[in-house]
Structures are given as structure tokens and as C-alpha cells.
Amino acid sequence: MEEPLRPFLNEARQRWLLVLLTAFTFLFLLGSRALNEPDEGRYSEIAREMIVTGDWVVPHLWYLPHLDKPPLTYWLVAVSMKWFGQNEWALRLPLALAGLSGVWAAFLLGSLLGGRRAGFWSAVILQSSLLYFAMARMLTTDMFLTQFTAWAVHFFWRSWLAATSGIGNRKSGIVLWNLAGWAAIALGFLAKGPIALAVPLLALAAVAVFRLKIFKAKKLLWGGLAGGFALFLVLTLPWFLAVFRRVPQSAHYMILGQVAGHLLGTTIKNRKGGPFYFFAILAVGLLPWTFLLGWLWRRAHWHGLDEKSKGAWLLLNVWVFFPFALFSFSEAKLPAYILPIFPALAVMLAWRFFSGKPAAASAPKWAWQVCLAGAVLLPTVFPWLLKYAFRDALPARMTWQTPAAVGTAVVALWLARNRRPPTVAAFAAGLALLGFFATVAEIPPFETSLRDNQTLKPLGQTLRERVHPGDAVVCWGKFPEGLPFYAGAAMSATNRPYLGDMDLTQVPFEFPGNRQRLGDRLLPDENALVRLLSKKNRVWIVGFGDTVERFEQAHQATPLDLVTNVGQWKLFVSR
């Protein structure tokens, strides 16, 4: 039997506890970390340029068209920046609110399917899952897609219930829930693209096929699809048509280059992975709840569900398995690609183990203990990741972190040895969040040691302080996507840097026409850099790795002085 609620955890206090916990989870230490390359730097710079140029239709990176993604993420970040200033907290605020919104959607869907306790635990499990927590602090499009997917599924399920079960049986109510689902799909599409359309519709289609025989409102179903798709087009088409009209070749690039190219692997840049790539990502990303998956899918559980619940369980399963399979077989692979399945998994786990109903073949006691131990895995291994993966010397205080985390796990396991699953789960969620926050607080001193994902903040600040009018800036060896965000007037629309010795198949050169738009700012070879250095004005060179040293060895008549070394990047100035 399920452990009864204690008096201080009545329904009202549970909700307040959940609100405070969720707000703390997504807002605490939000701006403590500088922007990482390349994603955070790129998205932030595009949003900044929207404000600077006043062009909110065509996204620009380094004042060149950049149409790898639809614009919603840039819009939200730019609005936040206008309201709260150009700082990391303001940039990540829309992301944190999206994470909070996804938790809210999971709470409502979990409550609808499994009752109040299932809703509560859906929210707790989701926000205490490692990948969801991490991506709510990493500026990309994935968290926005995830929240809109969760809302779309929730709205469609409400519409389905109204149409099949007589809940809110007025046609106007059915239509409004359906349109709300399509609006969520449209917003997801404007954040990430077609995957926002595919996942909710396939999940709903699976339920419709499963229960089509008892569905007596087929005309309403088809009418809802037609009306919803019309709303989707009204919300999404204007931006695409405006961009296609203003930017030549943008339609070909976005449709064939980005959508089809990512699926077929023809435009993949360093995103390879084997067919089992996402099994490892799921195992780590769902911590500390990973070990419950072995008891999530059981035949006895399926047979114990009524017809309506079977439809909901099918809905959640399609939501999980379709994107997981799609991206497993796709050539493009990044950990965050499967983030949209996490609200579904959280609802399934909460419904299965916390709904208060008898659960056939429930997880054994030792599985809950393993979840509790897994809650301290990140702070246990993080010092070793820093030492061996990044090859950094650890501060003295961090040498004690692993034994302290292991000791915490031992104490927690001893305290929870005779507790029931809800109490053990509460221990696990609390320890997991504490471990996550401890890791977030430890990252800033190592931000320039993350290799290709390091921050460019110190380098940008140096340029901002030391570059004077008339100086030239050259980026050599690799494109530093977010550098202008921190460089201030040193890099602007009227003082654009020179670029050279870079891969011309990657950002920003791969977009048609961008090489021509750069004009003489794109240095074709080392001789062009030599000619620039021979001029009287001072030249600053931002170089990646040893690219500038190799240039200097080949052209000893053009000596340079090293100004600063920031991780993989170096700043030189001409003598």
C-alpha cells in the first residue's frame, strides 16, 4: 500500500510546496555561469542583433542572415534582454520559464490521468531529472520545443476526453481544447521546426486508431483537424513567407538544407553517433529515476487499465518512442534531441508508481534504493570529470567532494532503509536537486577549460576594454560565434572583424550568399593577413589553438605579441 500523506502535506500545502520548489529549481543561480560556445553564444548574439538592428524578422549572426532555426527563441530572448538588460540572467530567463511551463503541463496531465498525487510527482520527477534540469539552463531551442509539445499533448487529450467521454461535451469546448493544442504546435514549430508538428499528432493518431470503433464524433474529429491546421498556418506562415520574400534562396536552404539535411545526414557537422547513442543519454539524463524504467512497462499493468486509461497510456508511449526511434536512426545526434520525451516519462512514472492505485509488479525496494544512490552520482563523479576529461587541477575543497558525496549517500540509504517508496523518492529528488545546484555553483571557475564549449567572456571583455577606434580585429582559425556579445563596440555593424583560415562549410559561411556579403572582410589566405598587418593601424588577432603561432612562424617578418590566453583561444596584437 502507498504511504499515507502526513498532516503537513495536505493538498493545499503540497501545491504551495511544489510551486516554491519549482520556482527555486529553475531560477536559483540562473545567471551564475557565462555563455558557452557555440550554442549559447550564437543564440544570445542573434537576439542582441535583433535589438541593435531593429530587424525582428530575419535573424542575423554577425550581421549576416542566419536561418538555421525559426525565430521564436531569438524573439523571447531579445524581449527579455530589452526588459532586464544584457546579462546572463536575462538571457536564460525565458529558458527557465519554459522549463517551469513544461513542469506545469506535466503536473496537469499527470493529475488528469492518475489523480492529484500523480500530478505532484510528475512535476517533481521532471524537474529533478538531470537532462531536464541541465537544459533549462542551457540556451538552446530544445526546452521551448519540450514545453510546447507537453502543452499540445495535454490540450489534445482534454479535447479527446470531451469528445469521447462526455466531459465538457459542448462542441465549443471540444473545439477550443483542440485549437489550443494546435496553437501550442505552432509555437513549437516556430521554435524548432517540423518535429513539433509530428510528435503530438502521431500520439493522438495512435489513440484515435486504437479507439476508433467507439468514437462517435468522427466528423468533429476531421473538422477539428482542418480547423486546427488552418490556425497552425495562420500562426506560422507569415514569418516564413516574409523571410522567403526578403532573403534569396532561404526557402531552399531551410527546407532541403536544414530539415531534410539533418535527417539524412547531408548537413551534419560533428553530430555523429551510433544507433545506441540515446540509450546512454536516457540512462544518464533521467537520473536519479532511470532504474524505475525496468518496471514501467509490464503486461499486468496494461491489463489492469480500463479502456480510457489504455488510450492515455498509448498516447504517452507514442510520445516517448516515436522521437526516441526517429533520432536514434537519424544521422544527427545531440543529447538534447530527446528532451521532449521527458515530460511523458515523468507522467508515466508518476502515474505508474504514485497514483495511489494498486500497481501490479511494482518496483522492488532495492530499485528505489538505487534511485536514492543515483541522486548523488553527479557530485560524486564531477571532480573526476574535471580532472581527467578536462585535465584541470582541482581546488583543495573539491578533493573531498567525492568521499563527502559517497558518505551522504550511505547516510541517506540508512535513513531510508525502512521507508516506503514515496519517502525514498522524496529523499532522492531532494538530494538530486542539491547535487545539481552544487555542480552549477562549481562550474564558473572552469568555464574556459571546456574546450570547444568554453566561454568567450574574458576574451570579449579584453577586446571591449583595449580596442580603440581605428584598430582592426581579425578572427583566425575558428569562428567565435558569441564573441561580439561581450566585445561591445570593438565588434559591431560598423566595425566588423576580418575572418580567415576557417571552415567555409560551417556557420556563418554555409548560408547562401554570406561569403559574398562579407566582401573584403573574408581573408582568402595568409598573404591577405600579412598585407593587413603591414598597414599602420593596430591589428588584434583572436586565434583558436595554435593557428596564430603557426602563421607567425611562417611569416616571421610580422611579429605579434600575446595579450591573453583564455582556454583554447588566444588574443594577439601587432607590434
- Nearest one of 319, 228, 333 to 272, comparing CA atoms: 333
DSSP sequence for 42-78:
HHHHHHHHHHHH---SS-EETTEE--SS-SHHHHHHH
Q: What whole-number distance in Å separates Cα of residue 286 and Cα of residue 296?
A: 14
Positions of the chain with pLDDT under 50: 1-8, 167-168, 264-266
DSSP sequence for 510-525:
TSTTHHHHHGGGEE-S
The DSSP call for residue 471 is -
- What three-state secondary structure class fits 261? helix
Q: Which residue has the cell 534511485?
A: 371
pLDDT at residue number 392: 62
Task: Locate 455 and state its grid cell.
Answer: 566561454
Q: Where are the domains of the chain?
A: 96-119+128-356, 374-451, 456-574
DSSP sequence for 500-511:
ES--TTSTTTTS
pLDDT at residue number 216: 56
Dihedral sign of CA atoms 184, 190, 191, 193 in order: positive
**Three-state SS annotation for 125-146:** HHHCCHHHHHHCCCCCCHHHHH
Q: How many residues does the chain have?
A: 575
- What three-state secondary structure class fits 473? strand
* Distance, CA of 242 to chain centre: 27
- What three-state secondary structure class fits 7? helix
Name the phi and psi angles at 566, rounded to 5. Answer: -120, 95
Q: How far is CA 163 from CA 108, 113, 154, 428, 468, in A?
A: 19, 16, 14, 39, 67
Name the phi and psi angles at 60, rounded to 5. Answer: -125, 140
pLDDT at residue number 525: 94
pLDDT at residue number 363: 85
pLDDT at residue number 263: 54
- pTM (global) more than 0.85: yes
